[in-house]
Amino acid sequence: MFEDMHPSIIFATMAIFLAMIVILNTMLYKPLLKSIDERNDSIKNDEAKAKQYSQDISNANDEVEAIYANTREEVFKIKQQAINAAKEEANQIIKAKKEELERRMNSFYLELENQKKEFKENLSQYLPDLKQALQNNIKKIGIKE
Protein backbone atom coordinates (compact mmCIF):
# COMPACT_ATOMS: atom_id res chain seq x y z
CA MET A 1 0.00 0.00 0.00
CA PHE A 2 2.72 2.48 0.81
CA GLU A 3 5.00 0.98 -1.80
CA ASP A 4 3.73 3.17 -4.58
CA MET A 5 4.46 6.36 -2.69
CA HIS A 6 7.68 8.07 -3.22
CA PRO A 7 9.30 9.94 -0.42
CA SER A 8 9.54 13.03 -2.62
CA ILE A 9 5.78 13.04 -3.14
CA ILE A 10 5.25 12.65 0.60
CA PHE A 11 7.65 15.53 1.30
CA ALA A 12 6.08 17.62 -1.43
CA THR A 13 2.59 16.92 -0.03
CA MET A 14 3.75 17.78 3.49
CA ALA A 15 5.46 20.95 2.23
CA ILE A 16 2.32 21.99 0.36
CA PHE A 17 0.19 21.13 3.41
CA LEU A 18 2.45 23.21 5.71
CA ALA A 19 2.57 26.03 3.16
CA MET A 20 -1.26 25.97 2.99
CA ILE A 21 -1.46 26.08 6.79
CA VAL A 22 0.92 29.08 6.88
CA ILE A 23 -0.89 30.83 4.01
CA LEU A 24 -4.35 30.11 5.42
CA ASN A 25 -3.18 31.11 8.88
CA THR A 26 -1.83 34.46 7.73
CA MET A 27 -4.44 35.28 5.10
CA LEU A 28 -7.62 33.74 6.51
CA TYR A 29 -7.49 32.63 10.13
CA LYS A 30 -5.60 35.58 11.67
CA PRO A 31 -7.74 38.25 9.93
CA LEU A 32 -10.86 36.24 10.74
CA LEU A 33 -9.86 35.88 14.41
CA LYS A 34 -8.85 39.55 14.51
CA SER A 35 -12.24 40.51 13.06
CA ILE A 36 -14.02 38.29 15.60
CA ASP A 37 -11.97 39.79 18.46
CA GLU A 38 -12.72 43.33 17.23
CA ARG A 39 -16.40 42.45 16.99
CA ASN A 40 -16.34 41.04 20.55
CA ASP A 41 -14.55 44.18 21.79
CA SER A 42 -17.08 46.35 19.98
CA ILE A 43 -19.95 44.41 21.57
CA LYS A 44 -18.35 44.76 25.02
CA ASN A 45 -17.85 48.50 24.47
CA ASP A 46 -21.44 48.87 23.28
CA GLU A 47 -22.68 46.96 26.32
CA ALA A 48 -20.60 49.18 28.60
CA LYS A 49 -21.92 52.29 26.85
CA ALA A 50 -25.48 50.98 27.10
CA LYS A 51 -25.02 50.38 30.83
CA GLN A 52 -23.53 53.86 31.22
CA TYR A 53 -26.36 55.43 29.24
CA SER A 54 -28.87 53.46 31.28
CA GLN A 55 -27.23 54.70 34.47
CA ASP A 56 -27.18 58.26 33.12
CA ILE A 57 -30.86 58.02 32.23
CA SER A 58 -31.64 56.62 35.66
CA ASN A 59 -29.72 59.47 37.29
CA ALA A 60 -31.47 61.99 35.05
CA ASN A 61 -34.86 60.48 35.96
CA ASP A 62 -33.98 60.71 39.64
CA GLU A 63 -32.92 64.32 39.17
CA VAL A 64 -36.12 65.11 37.27
CA GLU A 65 -38.18 63.49 40.04
CA ALA A 66 -36.31 65.53 42.66
CA ILE A 67 -36.84 68.73 40.68
CA TYR A 68 -40.52 67.84 40.21
CA ALA A 69 -40.92 67.20 43.94
CA ASN A 70 -39.16 70.47 44.81
CA THR A 71 -41.29 72.33 42.29
CA ARG A 72 -44.43 70.81 43.75
CA GLU A 73 -43.34 71.90 47.23
CA GLU A 74 -42.54 75.41 46.02
CA VAL A 75 -45.87 75.66 44.22
CA PHE A 76 -47.63 74.50 47.38
CA LYS A 77 -45.72 77.07 49.47
CA ILE A 78 -46.49 79.86 47.00
CA LYS A 79 -50.12 78.80 46.90
CA GLN A 80 -50.29 78.76 50.71
CA GLN A 81 -48.62 82.18 50.87
CA ALA A 82 -51.14 83.54 48.37
CA ILE A 83 -54.03 82.01 50.33
CA ASN A 84 -52.68 83.37 53.61
CA ALA A 85 -52.15 86.81 52.07
CA ALA A 86 -55.68 86.76 50.64
CA LYS A 87 -57.09 85.69 54.02
CA GLU A 88 -55.13 88.44 55.76
CA GLU A 89 -56.32 91.01 53.25
CA ALA A 90 -59.90 89.78 53.59
CA ASN A 91 -59.62 89.94 57.38
CA GLN A 92 -58.30 93.50 57.17
CA ILE A 93 -61.13 94.51 54.83
CA ILE A 94 -63.68 92.85 57.14
CA LYS A 95 -62.13 94.55 60.16
CA ALA A 96 -62.20 97.92 58.40
CA LYS A 97 -65.83 97.40 57.37
CA LYS A 98 -66.77 96.37 60.92
CA GLU A 99 -65.08 99.47 62.31
CA GLU A 100 -66.83 101.65 59.73
CA LEU A 101 -70.19 100.03 60.50
CA GLU A 102 -69.62 100.43 64.24
CA ARG A 103 -68.70 104.07 63.70
CA ARG A 104 -71.80 104.59 61.56
CA MET A 105 -73.93 102.72 64.12
CA ASN A 106 -72.56 104.90 66.93
CA SER A 107 -73.20 107.97 64.81
CA PHE A 108 -76.73 106.72 64.14
CA TYR A 109 -77.31 106.12 67.86
CA LEU A 110 -76.01 109.60 68.68
CA GLU A 111 -78.24 111.11 65.99
CA LEU A 112 -81.17 109.08 67.29
CA GLU A 113 -80.45 110.21 70.82
CA ASN A 114 -80.29 113.83 69.64
CA GLN A 115 -83.57 113.44 67.76
CA LYS A 116 -85.08 111.86 70.86
CA LYS A 117 -83.97 114.84 72.96
CA GLU A 118 -85.32 117.27 70.35
CA PHE A 119 -88.60 115.36 70.23
CA LYS A 120 -88.85 115.45 74.03
CA GLU A 121 -88.09 119.16 74.02
CA ASN A 122 -90.65 119.82 71.30
CA LEU A 123 -93.14 117.59 73.05
CA SER A 124 -92.52 119.30 76.37
CA GLN A 125 -93.07 122.70 74.62
CA TYR A 126 -96.32 121.57 73.10
CA LEU A 127 -97.36 119.44 76.08
CA PRO A 128 -99.31 122.20 77.81
CA ASP A 129 -101.12 122.99 74.56
CA LEU A 130 -101.80 119.31 73.95
CA LYS A 131 -102.94 118.87 77.52
CA GLN A 132 -105.32 121.77 77.14
CA ALA A 133 -106.61 120.45 73.78
CA LEU A 134 -107.09 117.00 75.26
CA GLN A 135 -109.01 118.39 78.23
CA ASN A 136 -111.18 120.44 75.89
CA ASN A 137 -111.89 117.35 73.82
CA ILE A 138 -112.74 115.37 76.94
CA LYS A 139 -115.10 118.13 78.08
CA LYS A 140 -116.79 118.19 74.69
CA ILE A 141 -117.19 114.42 74.75
CA GLY A 142 -118.38 114.61 78.32
CA ILE A 143 -120.97 117.25 77.34
CA LYS A 144 -122.39 115.29 74.47
CA GLU A 145 -122.86 112.17 76.49
Segment 59-80, tens digit of pLDDT: 999 999 999 999 999 999 999 9
pLDDT of amino acid 121: 86
- Report the distance separating Cα 61 and Cα 73, nearest Å: 18
Where is 135: in which H helix or E strand?
helix 30-144
Query: Exposed (0-12), middle (13-18) or buried (19+): which is 46, by Cβ within 10 Å?
Result: exposed
Q: Band of the pLDDT at 136, cuts 50, 70, 90? A: confident
pTM of the model: 0.45
Phi-psi map region of 53: left, alpha, beta (phi>0 left; psi -120 to 50 alpha):
alpha
HSE at residue 81, side-chain half, CA atoms within 13 A, is: 6
